[in-house]
Structure 1
Amino acid sequence: MTGFVRRTAAAAALVLVAATVPLTGAVAVPASAPAAPDLAKAEAQWIDRDTVAWNTGAGADAELAYARKGGIAVDDGELTGAARRIRLDPVPGGLTDAQRAKFPHLRAYAAFRVDPRDRGRVRTALTGQVVAVHRAAGGDLRAATGVQTQGVLDDLYAPAATKAALGPGFTRGRPSLTVWAPTAQDVRLDIGGRSVPMRRDAASGVWSAAGPKSWYGKPYRYVVKVWAPSVRKVVTNKVTDPYATALTTDSARSLLVDLDDPKLAPEGWRTLRKPPATPLRDAQIQELHVRDFSVGDRTAAHRGQYLAFTDRTSDGMRHLRKLAKAGTSYVHLLPAFDIGTIPERKSEQAVPDCDLASFAADSEEQQACVGKAAAKDAYNWGYDPLHYTVPEGSYASDPEGTRRTVEFRKMVQGLNGAGLRTVMDVVYNHTVASGQADKSVLDKIVPGYYQRLLADGSVATSTCCANTAPENAMMGRLVVDSVVTWARQYKVDGFRFDLMGHHPKANILAVRKALDALTPKKDGVDGKKIVLYGEGWNFGEIADDARFEQATQRNMAGTGIATFSDRARDAVRGGGPFDEDPGVQGFASGLHTDPNTSKANGTPAEQKARLLHYQDLIKVGLTGNLAGYAFTDSAGRKVTGAGVDYNGAPAGYAAAPGDALAYADAHDNEALYDALAFKLPRQTPAADRARMQVLASATATLSQGPALYQAGSDLLRSKSLDRNSYDSGDWFNAIHWDCRDGNGFGRGLPPAADNKNKWPYGKPLLADPALSPGCAEIGGASAAYRDLLKLRATEPAFSLATTGQVQKALSFPLSGTPGETPGVITMRLGDLVVVFNATPQERTQRVAALEGAAYSLHPVQARGADEVVKSASYARRSGTFHVPARTVAVFRRG
């Protein structure tokens, strides 16, 4: 997600992700009178081998009851079932300072110390049902609850387990398999039709088995006998390997293969030459879905597959090469690991059974027909991870076996050959399922550990699905190990972390450290050149560092790991992701200067005031969202980037260029063209809509720091007003590289589930043929965007490294003066002057300090594709720049 909205098939529920305003965060629950006995909950937390924290009365008479076979219950107000006990002693004053620092959300809980006489029972207790019991002075049961054990498992086992080998391993060709399952009562390996006992290491809780070379290529599963709190009984789970490197179709079984096997390496893989690495602060990124890229491309030989990126003569690959030549450096692939909601065999994938093209542009029929097939079709964005470190099978020519491995590598080769490095969108913050659900993996091996639990023991779902807990040592290790595997074995050049704010900062820094240790000689890749960025949103049960220091926008500043910046995004588009009225305008959509009919925009005076504030947000964005950059705002006040308000939060939060990633649209919410369709006045001609699209994108392209664009946005890509196309199929999502196929606008009303409230606004727009651009508008916008990319790539002033350099080189000479024009931003950057004119009239911008200085339109634009910008001029005598309507013009001194 990118701070807009997402809906996943796994959750089948709408999830709103606030970009800056946190939802209710987890807070410490003060000690209070215990609740009635309820073993369906787990309100006590065993945080280390000696300590249990429980929100019950301080000084209470408490103990732990445990039973390896389970069976402890509450009947008529008393515990029943055979159980042993671990005595607990109240700790005066509660948790220690160190414990409160490690578990801040438990800081007000009462603390109980395990009686030294019972410490020998701890490891045994953890392999069965554990219940915390609180009794009154006379012995009557006052409270009983299940126990969360993540902390004690880390304390007991993580020191050794974090160093142990996990997953498939090979020693001189002989395979071994290891899995961490410290609470399991037994683990066996089901491989090749045989059941093989596994050996448990007491120190680490790791189970292992070694076998003959004949195991190679065989499917396998672990058979884990374990207490499962979600169903409150001992279960025997047949489960795939969370460290699997290959899978059978639909993830039914893991495959025992060696990713170093030469047979899995396409020709030229070992000697692959990559394009030169672009530093993160200069990265220009195209965000692309594997299937969207080629499924609608009639010139592609491998439509919808990894191999489409090897179709050098396809329209899609030709376009990517054009973008690379202009200055695009990375292609960011939406999740391409094993996805939990797509049937992998093409023969089992549903397709809409309607003639979708026969319906009217504003019809409800398309979305209804697509919706009938959605649950079983070949499409999903992929934010529903099943196995983190195996390529998704539905994008392979055959999902059975290792073709997906070979073809993913060929995709990377194809992109590298086109001059582009590859970024993977990774989703370690949640799993597609938990507990005993069919598609649960981690929680079937170590129940209650890998998922983040709320105070009552239920799984947190603030991300949309079953949240993971990378604050726990072995989940954190899984994140690091998985990323390193993608980097080493698939030569991925960067990673974008979905909902990175749900990770501890320490976890993301551990990823950075592990990547930095990779060297070309040892690993075949230079890890220091791998870029990292993610969504630093602050919300949910971990908001405001409630459980750990999060990897949020503010906290990641200065780390060299970028976070998406929503500040300029909202100012450029207008309003926010959750506006009921999509007509709320912004800088690039006509606020005040070209008002639409929406009453949500307010009075002319309110519009002007909001527009000028938006311009301040964009100015901060152009600096790279620097917190310390000082300038004069539109009201004439001396401020810093951190002093400009964004919905109650500081607009500027970056410590250096590269900390914040700029964007005007991404896969979430309406595409930029669709947002402008809602916001620009209905009568705005298609040519002017195209110009506003270029201008909106330019606020990201010409900013300090990295920028990201939804693939196809330069071609005015539309999803027919769909704000959340995660499961809307190819009909709404496919990119149309050939302008004769249109841009996707007018393909029917978007799916009702997430868009019906906007149908009344969208229906007349979709029915209006004047809003569908032709080849002139599509081709013109793309060419103008490429000119701006080239301009940025060839001007060092857009690649400043420090706040000091930006402060010295960049200014807004008309900001806060009578000469500041609503709808126009003038930026001076070294020998350049950039004028963003978002108004429907030609504008003049007089910079008195430049009187007598020689400026002319930048050669890239003067010789470029946009005929309108070529009429921009400069009057040397007065220092006045003349810029056509709806145009961004760059002037160079000399």
Structure 2
Amino acid sequence: MSSTTRRFPAARRPRRGLAAALAVAVGAAALLASSPPPPARAAGPEQARAQWIDRDTVVWKGAEHSTSQLEFGAHGKRIRLTPGTLSPSERLAYPHLTGYPAFTVDPRDRHLARTALRGRLLATQRTADGGRATTGVQIPGVLDDLYGARARHAALGPVFHHGRPTLSVWAPTARTVALELDGRTVPMRREDSTGIWRATGTRDWAGKPYRYLVTVWAPTVGKTVTNKVTDPYSTALTADSARSLVTDLDDPQLAPPGWSRLTKPAAVPLRRARIQELQIRDFSVEDRTSRHPGRYLAFTDRRSDGMRHLAALARSGTSYVHLLPAFDFATTPERPADQARPGCDLASYAPDSDRQQDCVGKTAGRDAYNWGYDPLHYTVPEGSYTSDPEGTARTVEFRRMVQGLNGAGLRTVMDVVYNHTAASGQDPHSVLDRIVPGYYQRLMDDGGVATSTCCSGTAPEHTMMGKLVADSVVTWAKEYKVDGFRFDLMGHHPKANILAVRKALDALTPEKDGVDGKKIVLYGEGWNFGEAANDARFVQATQRNMAGTGIATFSDRARDAVRGGSPFDGDPRVQGFASGLYTDPNSSKQNGSPAEQRARLLHYQDLIKVGLTGNLADYTFTDTTGHHVKGSQIDYNGAPAGYADAPGDALAYADAHDNETLYDALAYKLPQRTGAADRSRMQVLALGTAALSQGPALSPAGSDLLRSKSLDRNSFDSGDWFNALHWSCADGNGFGRGLPPAADNKDKWPYARPLLADPTLRPGCAAIHQASAAYRDLLRIHATEPAFGLPTTARVQSALSFPLSGKDETPGVITMRLGNLVIILNATPHHQTQTVHALAGERYALHPVQAHGTDRTTRAASYARSSGTFTVPARTVAVYRRG
């Protein structure tokens, strides 16, 4: 398996209602597999092994290559099929079908296609033994061929013209579609060339709730149904997404004061972006200084502890806040009265007790907490974060949130999840699949829905799903002035789809649209796994494929080297560069012998060096074995470490919302005797590997405050108790709030219990303040030094070097020259000297930001001009400047 595949299982968020333990089990199995397992799928009662890929061609897995037919209609009408072959263009469009029997639609029957697609459809043939083979038929390809070219340019959802709304929905396979509005049923008219149904209303429709009544064949239940379903292109919703609302987002009443004149912080190129990732509820739900805890409006509380901290980060060089999903998601009750709360005194239990997780677990499926990776409506703000989920307050308050962040000096990124839906088929949380069954979801060869993403996968390779992605992103950009988008599991999207989003955004102008689309940043998870892996169905938006596009992908290479091991280790004590491997070993036998540790540590240092260059594939340097190599020649679990064409292709991080927080990972990995001050320093050193890299970097909110989730590795459903941010050090950092929830963590409890019970691992204010101040110093250095924003590989090659890299490199220390800077990362528990003979006689001094900073230990770093020797304290990132 590729290394990127192995990044997935423990890093995913299963939707609420799925056992979190299942994701862990899948992850463990994936690690042990010698080749990728068959992707998971949820098959309906009627298998569909035949695929009608365009008006001329049907592919049928397992069929005999003989005369066949498609049967449809109540009286058994037939479309004749004859044995055929795939054309070159068909093989290019459907590479995963090239080995299956293909059939050609009889030209005399092609006119029957549009009628056949609006009911049950079966593929049948007489077999050689005289039997009859029958299967259902997958229809996305032929729908795209017949309707896609014209439908892709149409406006869907509510569109207003001179105050009159038109509601439009794409439902080419429906027998009828009507509009349920204001207690009555309004007929809709079908446009045969596009498959779109429309109804135009009067001005008094504005603000009214509506649903579509779609009568359609539903293969998952094997019958014709009439679904009452909300609009996939909803612009507003009633509480709990029960109805869509006829809403014009350009209505002046939905614009908060100053919205049309909103002044944004200057756009920062992606290659220089420093991003703070946070979840909306986490941010303020336990902030006693916030007037709007847990809501969008918390970002308008300029004097709250949380907003003061974000503003301080912005002044130091953080440029974007990345919000975990804030679109409408499926499983959180939106009305506060319906939200369950733990019914016990959580604070009364011991720090290593299992009582907290047990109590939280009893209400987890009904509480107010959810990361939001279970999308329901892609283009409406989530209602549980608003003061009133019943109407359009969520629109106004989301806009006020953007204003608040912009006012603090921060641009806004949205985490978007177009790769899957919360449900499919006839599930009440299924929207797309109840309107055009079998189209929007990605189907496996037997017709089951692919679930490798954790849930019901979507198919952005299909025209109208790809259109929905682009239309939704453009709406967030235009109507909510969002400044960037992070794509969840972007590798499950075609590269062409993500590039289409980029093109659509680039077309937005301040004069025409009120925003400059070219300044909107895009990045995502370019992992390579599942049914789409290795470009099986299309060219994916994976790490290597996206290089050179200006759209960044998360790089796991340096992350793993910094932390040590992988997120899937059975023993969480496996160490890395910033967690004591070889230089401060713990007692885990999984770390290997001292010789093995030393060799692995030096290899980790090469991975981190590649990361510091921006993960450049063609950057050349001397590795720790003494060989002159490119970044792409450094091994990362069998894959090239360097894959970027230019700085900005790879996004650096040592910590994110997935897996244990950085503090918790270090709690497992550093020797338990390590004191709070040293843990704080190792936290900053780990963060520094990303903060001082070329290209964009991300850290989660609270990481600079030593944030803990009490060792929880997958807190998507762990409630406020384990997730809430603590801005005041008097409230601690979250460590010792009990054993983390059993579903994802019980196998780690034997390691976790003694740590949580140890009071010395709960840092005090001194350690927290030290980490926060030191991290902000690194941000200031990055923001004020142009050498951290080099635009090309050639510029990086010229300006950046590792002068002491080679066979004699110090284990646990990385020395980097960057223009007029020297950066030394000393991860060892001892002070280190690094002599760069070529710099003897040059004037260097500790960077003014650090020389005048609050960290006395870092201020002790020194430089001997006569010899070119830099002396760096233990567990310290020191930046020196020439001059």
Please name the residue that 1:30 is paired with: none
Is 1:665 matched up with 2:672? Answer: no
3-state SS in 2 of match to 1:360: coil
In structure 2, distance between residues paired with 1:640 and 1:179: 52
Q: Which amino acid aligns with 2:658?
A: D
Is 1:8 matched up with 2:1? Answer: no
2:115 to 94, 101, 124: 124
3-state SS in 1 of match to 2:214: strand
In structure 1, distance between residues paired with 2:122 and 2:407: 59
Q: Which amino acid aligns with 2:266?
A: P
Is 1:404 matched up with 2:386? Answer: no
- Percent sequence identity over matched residues? 72
Is 1:499 matched up with 2:489? Answer: yes
In structure 2, distance between residues paired with 1:246 and 1:742: 39
Is 1:513 matched up with 2:492? Answer: no
Is 1:133 matched up with 2:124? Answer: yes
Per the alignment, do residues 834 and 705 of structure 1 end up closer, same or farther by CA in structure 2, a change over 3 Å counting?
A: same
Q: Which amino acid aligns with 1:106?
A: L
Q: Conserved in 2, the CA contact under 8 Å of 1:19 and 1:538?
A: no
Shift of 1:194: 1.2
3-state SS in 2 of match to 1:581: coil
Per the alignment, do residues 20 and 800 of structure 1 end up closer, same or farther by CA in structure 2, a change over 3 Å counting?
A: farther
Q: Which amino acid aligns with 1:136?
A: T
Please name the residue that 2:90 is paired with: 99
Please name the residue that 1:32 is paired with: none
Q: Which amino acid aligns with 1:611?
A: L
Shift of 1:843: 0.4
Per the alignment, do residues 176 and 85 of structure 1 end up closer, same or farther by CA in structure 2, a change over 3 Å counting?
A: same
Is 1:87 matched up with 2:80? Answer: yes
Shift of 1:24: 2.5
Task: Note the alpha carbon deviations across 1:680-717, whole angstroms, 9 max, x for none.
Answer: 00000010000000000000000000000010000000
3-state SS in 2 of match to 1:90: strand
How do 1:208-287 residues align onto structure 2 when only pairs under 5 Å count? 208-287=198-277
TM-score (norm 2): 0.97
3-state SS in 1 of match to 2:671: coil
Please name the residue that 1:79 is paired with: none
In structure 1, distance between residues paired with 2:505 and 2:741: 41
Q: Which amino acid aligns with 1:683?
A: R
Is 1:462 matched up with 2:452? Answer: yes
Please name the residue that 1:114 is paired with: 105
Task: Note the alpha carbon deviations across 1:832-889, whole angstroms, 9 max, x for none.
Answer: 1000000000000011111111111010100011110110001111111100000010
Per the alignment, do residues 20 and 478 of structure 1 end up closer, same or farther by CA in structure 2, a change over 3 Å counting?
A: farther
Per the alignment, do residues 39 and 752 of structure 1 end up closer, same or farther by CA in structure 2, a change over 3 Å counting?
A: closer
Please name the residue that 2:293 is paired with: 303
3-state SS in 1 of match to 2:233: coil
Q: Conserved in 2, the CA contact under 8 Å of 1:20 and 1:537?
A: no
1:873 to 862, 870, 873: 862
Please name the residue that 1:348 is paired with: 338
2:582 to 588, 592, 611: 592
Q: Conserved in 2, the CA contact under 8 Å of 1:842 and 1:882?
A: yes
Task: Tell me which moved more, 313-322 or 112-121.
Answer: 112-121
How do 1:372-387 residues align onto structure 2 when only pairs under 5 Å count? 372-387=362-377
Q: Conserved in 2, the CA contact under 8 Å of 1:2 and 1:666?
A: no
Q: Conserved in 1, the CA contact under 8 Å of 2:361 and 2:718?
A: yes
In structure 1, distance between residues paired with 2:34 and 2:529: 4
Per the alignment, do residues 716 and 137 of structure 1 end up closer, same or farther by CA in structure 2, a change over 3 Å counting?
A: closer
3-state SS in 2 of match to 1:287: strand
How do 1:583-662 residues align onto structure 2 when only pairs under 5 Å count? 583-662=573-652
Q: Which amino acid aligns with 2:49?
A: E
3-state SS in 1 of match to 2:450: coil
Per the alignment, do residues 201 and 84 of structure 1 end up closer, same or farther by CA in structure 2, a change over 3 Å counting?
A: same
Q: Which amino acid aligns with 1:95?
A: L
Is 1:54 matched up with 2:43? Answer: no
Q: Conserved in 2, the CA contact under 8 Å of 1:583 and 1:596?
A: yes
Q: Which amino acid aligns with 1:8?
A: R
Is 1:160 matched up with 2:150? Answer: yes
3-state SS in 1 of match to 2:562: helix
Task: Note the alpha carbon deviations across 1:547-595, whole angstroms, 9 max, x for none.
Answer: 0000000000000000000000000000001000000000000000000
Please name the residue that 2:427 is paired with: 437
Task: Tell me which moved more, 117-126 or 177-186.
Answer: 117-126
Shift of 1:802: 0.2
Task: Note the alpha carbon deviations across 1:320-343, whole angstroms, 9 max, x for none.
Answer: 000000000000000000010100
In structure 2, distance between residues paired with 1:308 and 1:290: 9
How do 1:673-692 residues align onto structure 2 when only pairs under 5 Å count? 673-692=663-682
In structure 2, distance between residues paired with 1:297 and 1:767: 26
Per the alignment, do residues 422 and 155 of structure 1 end up closer, same or farther by CA in structure 2, a change over 3 Å counting?
A: same
Shift of 1:10: 4.4
Please name the residue that 1:24 is paired with: 36
In structure 2, distance between residues paired with 1:41 and 1:745: 49
Please name the residue that 1:173 is paired with: 163
Shift of 1:443: 0.1
Q: Conserved in 2, the CA contact under 8 Å of 1:686 and 1:770?
A: yes
How do 1:473-622 residues align onto structure 2 when only pairs under 5 Å count? 473-622=463-612
Task: Note the alpha carbon deviations across 1:691-744, whole angstroms, 9 max, x for none.
Answer: 000000000000000000010000000000000000000000000000000000
Shift of 1:136: 2.9
Please name the residue that 1:74 is paired with: none
3-state SS in 2 of match to 1:270: helix
Please name the residue that 1:73 is paired with: none
1:851 to 836, 840, 845: 840
CA RMSD, Structure 1 to Structure 2 (Å): 1.5
Shift of 1:25: 7.2
Task: Note the alpha carbon deviations across 1:129-183, whole angstroms, 9 max, x for none.
Answer: 1111120358x33411000000000000001110112100111001110000000
In structure 2, distance between residues paired with 1:85 and 1:396: 53
Q: Which amino acid aligns with 2:65?
A: G
Task: Note the alpha carbon deviations across 1:385-416, whole angstroms, 9 max, x for none.
Answer: 00000000000001000000000000000000
Q: Conserved in 2, the CA contact under 8 Å of 1:226 and 1:234?
A: yes
How do 1:741-780 residues align onto structure 2 when only pairs under 5 Å count? 741-780=731-770
In structure 2, distance between residues paired with 1:21 and 1:550: 23
In structure 2, distance between residues paired with 1:56 and 1:430: 28
Please name the residue that 1:65 is paired with: 71
Q: Conserved in 2, the CA contact under 8 Å of 1:24 and 1:541?
A: no
Q: Which amino acid aligns with 2:36?
A: T
Is 1:422 matched up with 2:391? Answer: no
Shift of 1:98: 1.1
In structure 2, distance between residues paired with 1:351 and 1:229: 39
3-state SS in 2 of match to 1:7: coil
How do 1:814-893 residues align onto structure 2 when only pairs under 5 Å count? 814-818=804-808, 820-893=809-882
Q: Conserved in 2, the CA contact under 8 Å of 1:10 and 1:465?
A: no
Q: Conserved in 2, the CA contact under 8 Å of 1:134 and 1:143?
A: yes
Shift of 1:2: 7.6
In structure 2, distance between residues paired with 1:817 and 1:255: 67
Aligned residues: 867
Shift of 1:657: 0.2
Task: Tell me which moved more, 384-393 or 117-126.
Answer: 117-126
In structure 2, distance between residues paired with 1:379 and 1:58: 52
Please name the residue that 1:288 is paired with: 278
In structure 1, distance between residues paired with 2:66 and 2:320: 59
Shift of 1:97: 1.4
Per the alignment, do residues 427 and 23 of structure 1 end up closer, same or farther by CA in structure 2, a change over 3 Å counting?
A: farther
Q: Conserved in 1, the CA contact under 8 Å of 2:64 and 2:127?
A: no
In structure 2, distance between residues paired with 1:855 and 1:290: 43
3-state SS in 1 of match to 2:226: strand
In structure 2, distance between residues paired with 1:235 and 1:544: 38
Is 1:392 matched up with 2:404? Answer: no
Q: Which amino acid aligns with 1:12?
A: A
Per the alignment, do residues 233 and 276 of structure 1 end up closer, same or farther by CA in structure 2, a change over 3 Å counting?
A: same
Q: Conserved in 2, the CA contact under 8 Å of 1:62 and 1:134?
A: yes
Q: Conserved in 2, the CA contact under 8 Å of 1:22 and 1:543?
A: no
